[in-house]
Every structure is written in C-alpha cells, then in structure tokens.
Amino acid sequence: MEEVRDKISFASELKRKFIHISSSWISFAYMFLSKDIMVIILGLAFTGCLLFDILRYYFKWFDNLYLKFLSDVLRSHELKLKGITFTGATYLMFAALICVVLFPKEIAIAAILIMTIGDAVAAIVGKSFGKIKFFSKTVEGSVAFFIAGLLIIMFTPKLTNDANEFYIAIAAVSFTTVIEILPLKLDDNITVPIAFSLAYLTLMKLFIA
C-alpha cells in the first residue's frame, strides 16, 4: 500500500508495482500444481533472491550491476546498504513460501493475490489520488486495497460450499486492511498474506469447521 514517506517517482512506482503484480504467477501456478512442487519452486526462488541480497552486500561490482537495472524502483533502504538488506522480492517469496507450507491451498492462493495485486492497486491509487493521510499510508490507498481484496475473494477457490465462508473471507480482508494501515516494522509483503491467512483460517475453525 502506498506510503507517504520514502516515495519514488510515479513512473518508477508503476514499474515496481508491475513487477509486484507479475508475482501473481505464484497463485495461478498453485491452482494447477501440487503443494510439494510449489514448495520446491518457491524455495528456489526465495534462495535466489536471498543470494542476490547477500552478493550485493559483499561484492560492490554485483551491487553496481544490480543497481544499473533496478535502482529506479528501489526504496531508499534498499539502495543504501548498511548491512545485508532484504528487498521486497525476498520478503515476497518468503511470505509466499510460508503461506504454501502452512495454510490450505485455497487460502494461500487468495493471500498471495491480495499481497501482489491488492498492495499494487493500493500503492498506485494512493500515489495518484491520495490526499487523506493516516499513519504512513493514505485513506484512498487503504480503500483501494480493501476493494481489491473483495474482488479477489469473489473469484478465488473456497474451502467449502458453505455460503458463510464468503462472509468470513470479507472479515479476513477487513482485518488485513487494518493490519496494512498500522505502522508495523515488518515488511507488508509478510504482514499482508500472513494476517489474511491467519484470520481466514481462525474464523473458519471457529464458525464453520
């Protein structure tokens, strides 16, 4: 979701969020592949991103090469290395891996889409139209995140045929929107999918399962 601080240009934001949205391939792939195969794919992807982060810190030439192609889409903390710094891509792959390992397939698919598409929509709307500031975010961006989340849960698989599960999904999206607004220190690529998955699964166990 769009943050008021640490801004980059709108063109760079679009490029960054296009990369973010492209990660939705994870959910679409998981619709057709088994959990075991997805764990291997995401494990390799996470390891690759982590290796890039480590190489950037220890090898200046690698950092310069990395920045040559991606400097315009990196946040300030991703540019100025004071230690091994994890990029958004690393957090995203780690969160996707955790969702696939710990949560039912249907929940993981929706959670990853909310992380990739919901966050991107919120950032673009917040940067384009955001006027009302709330913590480090904009109200407009938060509303966009919530609406995107609702659209995602309308079209993603469900655990049961119980109509009440849709209301549980709405509650999970609402909870995730609140978590996203709060100025937490954890990267939102982690907090968003994990918050959604935990809320969804907990409510399912309380009211349906």
Residue-wise pLDDT tens digits, 102-125: 999 999 999 999 999 998 999 889
What confidence score (pLDDT) does residue 154 get?
Answer: 96
Say which range, 67-81, 153-167, 179-193, has the weakest mean pLDDT.
67-81
Whether pLDDT at 33 is above 80: yes
Q: How far is CA 117 from CA 20, 22, 34, 64, in A?
A: 7, 9, 23, 30
High-pLDDT (> 90) share of the chain, %: 61
Q: How confident is the model at residue 71 (pLDDT cuts 50, 70, 90)?
A: low
The strand pair at 137-138 and 133-134 is best described as antiparallel
Query: Looking at residues 152-161, what average pLDDT do you find?
Result: 96
- CB contact at 8 A, 124 and 9: no
pTM of the model: 0.89
Nearest to 84 by CA among 127, 112, 126, 51: 51
72/47: higher pLDDT: 47
What is the model's pLDDT at position 2? 44
HSE at residue 124, side-chain half, CA atoms within 13 A, is: 17
pLDDT band at 183 (very low <50, low <70, confident <90, very high): confident
Q: Where are the alpha helices (DSSP H) in the chain?
A: 10-22, 25-30, 35-58, 60-70, 76-79, 88-102, 105-113, 119-129, 139-155, 164-181, 188-207
